Copies of this chain bind each other. A is one copy, B any other.
Amino acid sequence: MAHSAKKAVIDLRSRVEVALRDFLSNEAKYLHGIGDELTPAMSALTSFLLDSGKRLRPLFAAVGYFGAGGNDDDGVLRAVASLELLQACALIHDDLMDASDTRRGKPSIHKQFEALHGDGGWHGSPEDFGRAASVLLGDLALVWSSQMLHRSGIPHSVMSNVLRISDEMRVELMSGQYLDVYEQTRDTHDLARSLKIARYKSGKYTIERPLHFGAALSGAPLDSDIFATYSAFGLPLGEAFQLRDDLLGVFGDPAATGKPAGDDLREGKHTALIAIAVERLTGSDKATFSQLFGNEQLDSNGIEQLRSLIVATGADQEIEQMIETLTSNARTALGDGKIAPTALSLFEELATSATRRSV
């Protein structure tokens, strides 16, 4: 059962890839018609979208569709794949806002266009051009996400509810991003605030809303029980997903994450992990931590030092425990009998890969 669920998820992922590839190849023709100047924009977005990515949101949406009783359908696969374009917008703009130089082991979009400008010896500032291009490529990905959904071929009768969920999901995403950016301007760390951000950025955006999106695609009325079940499953699992992300941002292997080691430490990111650690640190340890945390020039020794301080407080174990509890709460929600039994193993499979991952 577990084996066949894993295979089913892999199959769904390849069908999402195919849908994205088809959409992008169509758009490439359209942009080419506007002008060859757009070729670098098209190539950068195509490679950003197709070279890698876990496709988590499309997968949760597809599984949400099956769990609500939907039958296999290519239009639905195209509709859920559109969520990957929304995620591309979020990542491209996120890297710009955080001034992150790399994404998935490659230069981030603003860095790619900065290099294009610099290498070409173009007029003006390479940095400004990189920034402007990444604003526009993120915008284009967001616009495409709508377009791919509208063109997916799903029935008109379900579109209006799907759009309602999709709109709320997008407002929550942008709001969650703002909360996160704002949090980084605070002088203090706070576990409750960090968990709230985790709820908006991941609980809702990454898992709950994609599941709702899938349920709406199946034609389930917005007041049906399945939406509450998906919230009860999705919110804790999404928080667990974000907490795993926080751990990877500090302890993750660069070869797997595609991000430099200890990136969140260098960036001084306020996360639940850091909030717990800071609360527990005292005396000279606290002073050392404050001095090193958020230092952009931090070398591998500094990163090791910060990691040891965090581990000494037990904050990482506390977070692992929270992930365990949240995931277990999520699994409990699967047992309420609302989800189509044939789809349950897919939910189990995704719950595992979202919280026990190294990427």
In this assembly, does A34 line the interface, its C-beta being within 8 Å of a C-beta of chain B? yes
Tell me, yes or no, whether A230 is within 8 Å of chain B by CB.
no
Q: Given the known inter-chain contacts A129-B185, A143-B167, A170-B143, please indicate yes or no for A179 contacting B35, CB distance below 8 A.
A: yes
Cβ-based interface call for A174 (8 A): yes
Bound-state CA distance A168–B146 (Å) is 11
Q: Does A350 contact B (CB under 8 A)?
A: no
Residue among A129, A135, A200 with max Cβ neighbours from chain B (10 Å): A135
The segment from A64-72, A116-124, A251-259, A272-280 that touches chain B is: A116-124
9 contacts between A and B (CB under 8 A): A35-B175, A35-B179, A37-B179, A41-B178, A124-B184, A135-B135, A140-B171, A150-B160, A156-B159
Q: Which of A111-156 contact B (CB under 8 A)?
A: 117, 122-124, 128-129, 131-133, 135-136, 138-140, 142-144, 146-147, 150-151, 156
Interface contact A135-B93, CB-CB below 8 Å = yes
Q: What residue of chain B has the Cβ atom nearest to residue A34's Cβ?
A: B175
| A186 contacts across to B, CB distance below 8 A | 122-123
Residue contact A136 to B174, C-beta cutoff 8 Å: yes
Q: Which of B89, B185, B200 contacts A117 (CB 8 A)?
A: B185
Number of this chain's copies in the assembly equals: 2
In the complex, the chain B residue whose C-beta lies closest to that of A167 is B147
Give a binary string over A150-190; 1 marks a CB under 8 Å from any B CB, 0 the rest.
11000010011001100100111011011101101111000
Indicate whether A167 sits within 8 Å of B150 (C-beta atoms), given known contacts A38-B175, A178-B136: yes
List chain B residues, Cβ under 8 A from A174.
136, 139-140, 143
Q: How far is the CB of A83 from chain B (nearest CB, A)?
A: 14
| A123 touching B185 in the complex, CB below 8 Å, given contacts A37-B179, A150-B164 | yes
Q: Smallest Cβ distance from A159 to chain B, in angstroms?
A: 8
B139 and A181 contacting across the interface, CB-CB below 8 Å: no
Residues on B with C-beta less than 8 A from A99 are 128
Closest B residue to A172 using CB positions: B34
Answer whether residue A196 sits at the interface, using C-beta atoms and an 8 A cutoff: yes
**A31 is an interface residue with CB less than 8 A from chain B:** yes
Residues of B within 8 A of A128 (CB): 97, 99
CA distance A122 to B122 in the complex (A): 36
Instruction: Decide if A178 touches B123 in the complex (CB within 8 Å).
Output: no
In A91-112, which residues have CB < 8 Å from any B CB? 93, 96-97, 99
Contact B196 A35, beta carbon cutoff 8 Å: yes
State in angstroms the CA–CA spacing of A170 and B138 once bound together. 13
Give Cα A142–Cα B144 distance, bound, in whole angstroms.
Answer: 12
A226-253 interface mask toward B, CB cutoff 8 Å, 1 = contact, 0 = none?
0000000000000000000000000000
Instruction: Give the residue name and chain of the B residue nearest to A177 (CB).
Output: B136
Report the bound CA distance from A295 to B159 in whole Å: 51
Given A124-B184, A129-B185, does the pair A97, B135 have CB atoms closer than 8 Å? yes
- Which residues of chain B have C-beta atoms less than 8 A from A31's C-beta? 171, 175
Q: What is the CB-to-nearest-CB distance from A200 to chain B, in angstroms, rounded to a whole number? A: 7
Known contacts A30-B171, A123-B185, A185-B124; A38/B164 CB under 8 A: no
A196 to B132 Cα, complex, angstroms: 20
Q: Which residues of B contact A184 (CB under 8 A)?
A: 123-124
Question: Which 8 A-B residue pairs are closest in the complex by CB-CB distance?
Answer: A97-B132, A122-B185, A147-B167, A143-B170, A140-B174, A132-B181, A150-B163, A34-B175
